[in-house]
Structures are given as structure tokens and as C-alpha cells.
Structure 1
Amino acid sequence: MKEVSLPGESEDRLTESNVKAGSRAIVIGGSMAGLLAAKVLSGHYGEIIVIERDELQDRPANRPGVPQDHHPHRLQHLGKGVLETLFPGWREDLLAQGAYEREGKEMHLISPLASLQFPYEKDEGCSRPLLEWVIRRRVAAEPRIQVLQGHEAVSLLTRKKGNKLAVTGAKVKEKRCSDSRDLEAALVVDASGRYSRLPAWLEELGCGKPDTEILHTRLAYSTRYYRIPESLKDRYSTVLIEGDPSLAEGSGVFSPIEGGLAETTIYGAGGHYPPVDPARYEPAAAKLIHPMLAEILAQLEPVGNPRGFRVPECRLNPYGAMPEWPSGLLAIGDSICSFDPIYGQGISVAAAEAMEMGKALQEAGRESDPRWELHLQQRFGKIILPAWWTIVVADLRWPGVTYEGSLSGRGIRFCQEYLDIVRRQALQGGDMELFGLMMGVQGLDLPPSALFGEEAVRMVVSRCKQEAWLEKQLDDGETLGCFLERSFPVFHPGSHAEANR
């Protein structure tokens, strides 16, 4: 990406551009969601300007605008498919930069129910800074995309079109200066992440504010890097140790990345915070439900001290349900919904949204829809809902986690007990078909109906010989279909899975 100057700062470069202002789009935020959005927009607008608070380095590096980038990140198959569509060969780019090749190596999954080992298909282990840098370099090759580094959007520019409000750009300033400049555009996309100011901006503009759902996770990571000696580099691939959240048992992850290093993370929620004190880190690993992580760490050399990351809450802003939504404005990624990072959904959901935006822009070019931006936010909501529902159901198992929102408490409790049945059958009973269904739904590769639809529930209950349990869940005279309709959100089959086609 090329760095540009604001109008009035150096020969009015942007205002004298040959590109008309009407074919310019602005993306607020240059992280993964912003990069994906910019790439898609470059097929529809003559000029895309990414406004990024950080000064970006020409190498993989941690940066203040991504406070969680020291910690492990993973992509679901959904996200990997979108990245391959937008950036063919991106995985080879990772490997060329030293990413750890996992293909054929074994993953260890350890839970209170069982321990499993299975080989990886094609996959790469890398840090978040390397992943973002590889994608940023691809975006940099797009001549229509430019970046304003060290700048921030302080407000939206608007005007009235009849009785409807239109966003016409953003007021932008350099972080170190107080003066701001107006930057006009036909479309503004907020990709500024979980700390987005969009709800406040909308309220200031008289549009009201979204009816935000909040999952009070009180979650925390503690991550430490270790150097892997050459003699051990292929002995251990990914290790995932999952405690029982209802007992406040923490989880641990070991994952080799580039540079002969491994990321190790200990995780807790509900206010159960893992230590960042170096002297307490490895003893904490030894307290997990299985000693494997501690045994591995005992053979490795630590690189630096543990670093913590805390997330008090995850938020869903259902912008598609707002009665007033300005034209010329979109939100994407964590700006709409911030997930529990442990499940690795955020980048994949943002990738699916970016692809959906591309479809909507193609449709807008063929059809006249004066409210296409609002309708697209509604489509984003359909992509987000399965992932949001998954983390709410999972995290509410932790003591100390609470939820404010519209999801049915009865439905959540049913899902928690039902998933316990599925896990026991899959892990203790060795039912790999059920295990695949469970992982497919949790990983966003399959629609929720594959596991939670009426036909699927009946199949699982029969297979697990849990008909008596199901009967107890239903009120007198209540059918399973009616219960699911009342207690589950309305999922739209395939909306997320189709995003990488």
C-alpha cells in the first residue's frame, strides 16, 4: 500500500487526482477486516483510501492497534477459502517467510472426555503479525488502494439527500496533530474493530444507537513464546488442552510458528485470569487437566516474559435492525461483532462479510436499491449469527460469565446439555461422524441446522440413546419442532458457507 497525504498537506494530491470523488471509498482501519474490505472495494471503486492509526512497518511486527496480535490466531476453513479466492497463493507466501508447515503432522486434542490425535491437512502455523503482513503486501500491489498511516477518523461527513441522511466522507486528522481535514467519498466502511466509535457517531447524527447485545466474558490470555531446538521442531505440532469451563478449568495451547518459535497460551474466562508472572507461568501450565503442555515447555527455552490480554466483554451491534441507517456507510468485522478470540472466528467472519459486500456491490450496479447499505448490514447479520450464538452458548458455561441479549435462555441451556451428549458420543464413543459435524458447525463450515435442526437433533438423540433426556426438555404437548422454533434464533442456511464459493 502506498502512503498518501491528506488534501492540503502536499500539493492537494488527492483532490487533484484523476479519479472522481464519486468513485472513492474510505476504509477506517487497516487490520485484517480493513484489508479484506479494501481488496474487495478495489474491484468497484477507482480509489480506496485506508485510514490507519498505526505507522506500519515493512516487516512483520506487533503494533498498538492490534493489542491481541501477540497471541495465537487461527483461521477456520471458511476464512482460508476466502483468502485463497482473494489472494491466490497466500499460503505459499506464509511458508516462504518461514511459517511452520503443519500438513501431515499430528494435532493433539485433550479434553476431560478423551484425548485424540489426528493429522493435519494443508495448514500453516504463523503469528498474527506475519499473517497480516503477507495479506498487506498483497493489498499493496493494488494500484487503487492507498493508506494514510498514523491518521484517524474523528467523525463522519454527512449531508441530507431529501429526507434521508447520507455519509459523504470522513473528517481525518494525523494522530500527532489537532487539525483535521475533510476527505470526501462515495462510501465509508468502518473496519476499526471492537473499539469502534460508530455507535456514538450514529447517535450524534440522530440515527439512534443499536440494541447492542453484550456477553460479559471477563476472559484473559497469557501468552509466552518459546524457542524450539532443531531436534524437537517436528516432534510437537499443535496441542490443545481443554478444561471443563463449568469447573473453571483453564485451557492451554501450544502452536509452532515462524522463526523456530512456538506460541503457548493459557486461557480463562469469567474472571479466572492466568498469570503473567514468569515464575508462575509454567506452574500454571502444569495445573491444566493434562501435563502435556508443561512437559513440552520443560524442554524449551522461553523467549521473553508472558504477556496478558483481557477482554471484559464481547459485543454484537445489530446495525441491520436499526430503523435509520445512512446511505454511503457500512460496518464490517469486529466493528459489528467482537467475538471471544479463543474460537478463531473473527477473521473468518470478516472474510465472509467482505465477499458478501462484493456480491452486494455487483447487485447495486445492476439494480436500483436506495437502501442497499442497510440491506447489506442485514445480510452481515445472517453471517454473524451462527458464530455469535456459538460463543454465547460456550462461554456461558464459565462461572462468572453473563449475557445481555435476545437469545433464549432455555435454548442456550438445551444446547449446552445437547452438546455434552454429542461430545460424549464423539469423543468417548469414537463417533467421528458426529465429531466432524460438531467441528464443522463450530468452525462455520456447516450451517447450524446440520447439528441443531429438528432432523439432526432426532438423529443424534436416537444415536446416543437419549430419547428420555429429550422428552424431559419439552413441555407437555410441545413438539420438538415448536420448541426449536421458539428457543433458537432464525438461522439462514448456507449464507456463511457460500461466502467462499
Structure 2
Amino acid sequence: MNNNTSEKSALVIGAGIAGLMAARVLSEHYDNVVVIERDSQPEMPGTRAGVPQSFHLHQVLPRGEMILERFFPGFLEDLVALGAFSSPNATATMTNRYGTLGFPGDGKAMTYSRALLEWALRQRVQAIPNVRFLYHQEVIALETNSDRTVVTGVRIRERGQLEHQVTLSADLVVEASGRSSKLSSWLSALGYKLPEDERVKANIGYTTRNYKVSANRGENVAVIVVEASPATGHFTGGVLKRIENDIWTVCLASVGGYYPPTDPEGFEAGLRSLPVSPVLADMLQGAEPLSEPRGYRIPECVRHHYERMEEWPSGLLVLGDALCHFDPVYGQGMTLAAIEVETLAASLSEQQGQPQRGFERHMLQQMQDAIAPAWWRSTVEDLLWPGVTHSGPDALQDVPLLHKYFDFCLKQSTHQLERLQQKGEFNMLFFKYFMMNWLFIAPREVINADMLNALLESETQASKQAILAELFAGYDQSIETVLAGIAPNFSSTFQLPEGF
């Protein structure tokens, strides 16, 4: 990578969201950073072959946008300049089986496609002087020292070329190539023993179609979310989001093997048959389709527990979907990648750019700590649906109680927030359930006796007793003890947005 042995170099495998953010952070601590990407260099925002899900609906949660703005000041303004939808009158509407909540925009909220987000990030990273990109190249193996304890670089070749290979040396290699990562195979080939992965076989499917925004409906709606009832036997939900170029992107999603249709007639029928509300179909009445429905299926989500390996080579890190790929139905993936990169940035800053021995293993554990709450929450939610299974080194505890407790939180929070919104009021207490799902607060802030009592406050005494009897049937300990036992004590740092 360079001929100056006093300079430090880093390699990033993959130019997706995680890889681009990692390159930005590494550029502050390494003299040279090279990003290796399998796809060709894009000439405009668009879907990429290497990201087959990129056509489908994506959104960075507010916490992720906060991190992006911190690493790339003015980044959100870049998105608006590129065409991201932003309006002071925009509202997000969330409908679930217990009611509908409206979230007025503050003039800062915006919506955009995955393609536009990635394009804006790439432009920022490509402008960093000590970062360069190698496009249309694929990594075929890790390079190590003689005893295979230190990763010293990678071996690459141009896509489509089988013979000519090139070795790139580096002080640090960051694997961020996504869910198609071959890291497990590379490590096995080097003789490393891999721990058991954690797997959620959820048979996830979603179908997306784009429409032209209706002139009389586009300005006052940014996002509409519809969440289905378990009475159908499967999770089925829909999301409509306005993105750039006056486009509505509409997605039907499911968990448990009940895949949304991919033919136009079936897709339209699916919109009308959402069990909670036909609001999506109503909004799209007369709207012009801009694409055919496209489907995407994910048989399982996998969390690699590399931090449990007996040995881990120095000079190697992994993040993003290459470390853990989540159920995309909950829209947490890109935000979690940002949280992981934020974790890396904090650790490198603490060590003043001079990683100490064992730095990589320590980072693996920190990454796992950062993603653990979201993985636990989405896994618990997925297990609500028939046919979904979980396997791994650690069994999940008290899942039936958690299902009942979270459903009660959703019900009471929705009812209370609806009541307050009608009066023009707001109470953060009843917003906590949603803040947990959006990765701003820890599950323990929702799973505790004080929260339960607050949610029960509006109930009659007889109703309270019936609810508690149903929730804690089969448990002979105090409510406080039971709730303290089912709420994992995650060590991850949570951060509320400014103004809350």
C-alpha cells in the first residue's frame, strides 16, 4: 500500500454503509486507508448488485442520524441538497392493532432511499485525502504472519479474473462486506476454531414497489407504518415512505414464512388486506406505479460470536452485517452499524491511535455489547410468530412473559399517547416503549415495576388484578423480582436525542 514503513495503513473490505463509516473513522488514526469494493464505481445514486436488498425500503433511526451528523458535519444538509424529502409539515403516522399515533415533524426530519444515503456517504469519504477506493475487486483470502497469529493484509483479484492475484499489506484489516462475508471460511482455513453462531430462523420476506407521489397527498405525510395483529398467525406489516424524486416507496413485510406477493395484483390486494388498516391502499388509490413489485427473502438472521474464540488474530476487526445481520423488518441495521463504528472511534481515540496488544479482541467484545440490546429485542419479537426458532450458545429466558409484557406496553402506551395527543399534550413516560425499540433507552427502563405501575394507573382495581394475574401466571416471586430477572442488564451506552 505504501513504501514508507513508518506509516500506518488500514484496509476496509466493503464500501457499504458500515465500510464507509469505518473508513471515515480510520482516516483519523491511519496514514493510508484503502476501501476494497466488489462492485464497480457508481456514477450516480442507485441500487448495487452487491447489495441485493438496496432497492427495498431503508431508514436510519434518529440515533443513527445523530452519529452520521457527528462524523460528517452537515451531512443531513447534503441529503436534502441531493433531493431527500424534507418538509416542516411532514408527519409520521404509526398504526398498530391498538390505535394510530401521529408524530409531527420538526422541520428537520427527512426521508430518503438507501441508494441516496450511500451515495452521499461515498462522496464525503472519497473526499478524504488519505482514503482511496479499489473498485471491482474481491478479497479471496487473509494474509498472515508465519504462525497465523497476526493478519498482515489481504489477497485480492479483479472480479471475473481467476489467475492474477495481488497482495495488499496493512496494519489493520476491517471486514465490513455484509451478510455475504466469507470471514468464517477464511478463519477456518487458517486453522481457527469457530464458536457456535446464534441463529434466528424467521423466514423473513418483503416486497417493495415504487409509486409517483400523488400531488394532493405528498406534502403532509413523510412515513406511514402499519403493524399487523398476531391474530392472523403471521406478522404482516406495511410501510409507505416518501423518498427523493417525488417517489413513494411502499413495502409489505412478513415474518414466519408468509411471504408478501410479488405480482402487481397480489401486491395491491396485500395492501388492501392489511388486518389493522387499509390506510396504505387508500393513500395509493390512483397513484402511478413506477416499478414492478420486487421481493426479497431472508431465511435466517445470524449473529457471529467471534468474541468467544479461544484465539483471535491481531490486525483484524469485523463489523456491520458481517458480524451480525438483523431482521430488517425493524429497520435497525444501518443505525447499529453506525453505533458499532462509533464504538470503534471511541476506542481508537482512547488509545490515541496506538492500539495496544489485545485491542482487536477487546473491540470484538465492545461491538457485541453495542449490538446485544437490539439483537435481544428483535429476537424476542420474532419468536412471537409461529415457525420462528432461535438457536445458539445461550438460550433466551422468559420469552412468553416478555411477549405478554411488551404487548401490554404497546397497548397502554398507544392508548395513553392517543388520549394525550387529542388534548395537545405529551408524556415521555408513555413514549419509552418506542424509544427502546429505536435504541435510545435500555430495555430495563421499560421492564420494571415502576413502568408497569404507571401503565396500570388508568385501570380499575379489578382490571389491574386481572392483568397482573395474566402477566405473571406461573411465577411465585414478587413482581419486582420477576421483572428484574427478565430484563437483561446490557452494558451498552444509550443516548437520548437532544431535546428529550
TM-score by length of 2: 0.90
What is the CA-CA distance between 1:336 and the residue it aligns to?
0.9
Letter paired with 1:168? T
Give the aligned partner of residue 134 of structure 1.
120
8 Å Cα contact 1:461/1:470 also seen in 2: no
Give the aligned partner of residue 437 of structure 1.
432
Give the aligned partner of residue 166 of structure 1.
150
CA distance in 1, matches of 2:382, 2:37: 32
Change in Cα spacing, 1:93 to 1:455, as seen in structure 2 (3 Å) is same
Helix, strand or coil at the partner of 1:53: coil
CA distance in 1, matches of 2:177, 2:394: 26
Give the aligned partner of residue 490 of structure 1.
489
CA distance in 2, matches of 1:240, 1:389: 22
Q: Which segment drifts farther, 175-184 or 426-435?
A: 426-435
What is the CA-CA distance between 1:298 and the residue it aligns to?
1.6
Letter paired with 2:213? I
Give the aligned partner of residue 423 of structure 2.
none
Letter paired with 1:130? L
Picking from 386, 402, 414, the partner of 2:373 is 386
Give the aligned partner of residue 299 of structure 2.
312
Change in Cα spacing, 1:64 to 1:361, as seen in structure 2 (3 Å) is same
Change in Cα spacing, 1:460 to 1:202, as seen in structure 2 (3 Å) is farther
Change in Cα spacing, 1:387 to 1:305, as seen in structure 2 (3 Å) is same
Picking from 56, 80, 104, the partner of 1:119 is 104
Helix, strand or coil at the partner of 1:309: strand
Picking from 165, 175, 199, the partner of 2:159 is 175
Calculate percent identity across the aligned residue pairs: 34
What is the CA-CA distance between 1:196 and the residue it aligns to?
1.0
TM-score by length of 1: 0.90
Helix, strand or coil at the partner of 2:240: strand
Question: Per-residue CA shift, 1:201-236, capped at 9, x if unaligned?
Answer: 222222211321101111111100001243433143
8 Å Cα contact 1:25/1:48 also seen in 2: yes
Change in Cα spacing, 1:468 to 1:94, as seen in structure 2 (3 Å) is same
CA distance in 2, matches of 1:487, 1:229: 47
Give the aligned partner of residue 154 of structure 1.
140
CA distance in 1, matches of 2:56, 2:49: 13
CA distance in 2, matches of 1:325, 1:466: 52
8 Å Cα contact 1:425/1:434 also seen in 2: no
Q: Which segment drifts farther, 325-334 or 151-160?
A: 151-160
1:219 aligns with 2:214: no
Change in Cα spacing, 1:51 to 1:92, as seen in structure 2 (3 Å) is same
Helix, strand or coil at the partner of 1:168: strand
CA distance in 2, matches of 1:28, 1:238: 33
What is the CA-CA distance between 1:474 and the residue it aligns to?
7.1
Letter paired with 1:269? V
CA distance in 2, matches of 1:212, 1:498: 31
Question: Per-residue CA shift, 1:390-421, capped at 9, x if unaligned?
Answer: 11111112222111135554422221110111
8 Å Cα contact 2:89/2:219 also seen in 1: no
1:267 aligns with 2:262: no
What residue ranges of structure 2 are gaps of 5+ in the alignment?
421-426
Letter paired with 1:312? P
Give the aligned partner of residue 477 of structure 2.
478
Give the aligned partner of residue 25 of structure 2.
40
CA distance in 1, matches of 2:474, 2:264: 53
Give the aligned partner of residue 4 of structure 1.
none
CA distance in 2, matches of 1:380, 1:218: 26
Question: Per-residue CA shift, 1:229-270, capped at 9, x if unaligned?
Answer: 434331433111111145225211111111111101111111
CA distance in 2, matches of 1:229, 1:474: 50
Give the length in aligned residue pairs.
482
What is the CA-CA distance between 1:486 and the residue it aligns to?
4.9
Change in Cα spacing, 1:478 to 1:329, as seen in structure 2 (3 Å) is same
Question: Per-residue CA shift, 1:427-465, capped at 9, x if unaligned?
Answer: 124375344101111000112221124654555456766
What is the CA-CA distance between 1:498 and the residue it aligns to?
8.7
8 Å Cα contact 1:19/1:47 also seen in 2: no
Give the aligned partner of residue 52 of structure 1.
37
